[in-house]
Amino acid sequence: MASTTTTQRTVVFVDGVRTPFGKAGPKGIYAETRADDLVVKTIRELLRRNPQLDPARIDEVAIAATTQTGDQGLTIGRTSAILAGLPETVPGFAIDRMCAGAMTAVTTTASGIGFGQYDVVVAGGVEHMGRHPMGQGADPNPRFLADKLVDPSALVMGNTAENLHDRFPGITKARTDAYAVASQNKYDAAKKAGYLADTLVPVATRSTTGWGLATEDEPPRPGTTLEDLAMLKTPFRPAGRITAGNAAGLNDGATACILAGEDTARELGLQIGMRMVGFAFQGVDPAVMGIGPVPATEKVLARTGLTIDDIGLFEINEAFAVQVLAFLEHFGIDDADPRVNQWGGAIACGHPLASSGVRLMTQLSRQFAQHPEVRYGLTTMCIGLGMGGTVIWENPNFEGDK
């Protein structure tokens, strides 16, 4: 039998976009908009922005959704590809890793690129939490609790965040509220500077009052103060620390990106937003799922031979402020370190579960273009049922060696 060899290829993030994020529920901007149509908007926008990419060159469309039913079901990667007008030869699939769905869509297809089996892919995620609340229709096996495989609090994300506060007594409610105010302020500053507009695709919306156009995120609360947050209820525990103000809300939205082999990107004249260096996922105690980014980051740093000091930009998903602060505290990073979430985070803009990983990546790639002095950045997030995921990226604009 003849032997075959495969040389690992460099995977690049070409471009990414997202819809504006909306508030879940009957009054949200996407109350009457289908989840798959949100995905279609992002795919079509990627093709519009990258006209040199022949759609027939796309080898795969991987779209994540946490609740895969209704307009988020039926193998949404394939259905959204058809709906977006891609050639029938372009395959697609659906994927689920809860909050890290889009992140996993990226790492899974990137692995195929690295192995030489894909040249160009589209990866992303969607969550319409207004139509499909987290856990809708789920039937957790009773053995999880009967056999004491997990603590009962592990099945409610807000309870796991309260548990994380217990593990880190130095992370007080006042500290998380201060972080939340900073997230709102950084987001507002980035929006006013025009940094976010380039990442968004407008979406036509329909409601009982007629047609509209979503051009901005709906969740942000500019002008939020510590006094405002101090008055909010703690729904998960009496006299607790988690509130609607220091956690991401329930949101609707979609994201998508183009990944390619660097050789293919250069062949087709596609931009190179950033290069993938490595990634890792790691399981943790589900009762403190928010700690997941810590071991996932340690794992990928060890694999790549880098240290936390090599990372010049951090995009950390803000499911809960305590989760971000636990990460920063573990690695000895100050709460207000300017390298962290420069444009704010999910506490401000929202967190439509499976879509958020590509939001982090899209923003990091834009920040790389602004910071040629930075060589490495990372995107990381905690994941329900006790996991964390981290991807390290390299800045193609790095000028440190010049």
Catalytic residue set: 99, 351, 382
Buried b (16+ CB within 10 A) or exposed e, 91-118: ebbbbbbbbbbbbbbbbbbbebbbeeeb
- Nearest Cα residue to 134 out of 320, 383, 390, 388: 383
Region label for 273, one of left (φ > 0), alpha (ψ between -120 and 50) or beta (otherwise)? alpha
What torsion do the CA atoms of 145, 147, 149, 154 make, to the nearest 10 degrees? 10
Strand ranges (E), 170-232:
203-207, 210-214
Rg (CA), the chain: 20
CA distance 182 to 401: 34
Q: How far is CA 377 from CA 14, 68, 283, 316, 324, in A?
A: 16, 31, 22, 11, 16
Q: Strand pairing of 210-214 and 203-207? A: antiparallel
Apex CA 65: angle with CA 107 and CA 344, to 5°?
A: 70
CA distance 283 to 131: 29
DSSP string, 232-296: S--TTSTT-S--TTSB---EEEEEEEEEEEHHHHHHHT----EEEEEEEEEE--GGGGGGTHHHH
CA distance 181 to 183: 5
**Residue 250: beta bridge partners?**
none
- With both helix axes pointing from N to C terminus, report the angle between 76-83 and 35-49 in degrees, rounded to the nearest 10: 60
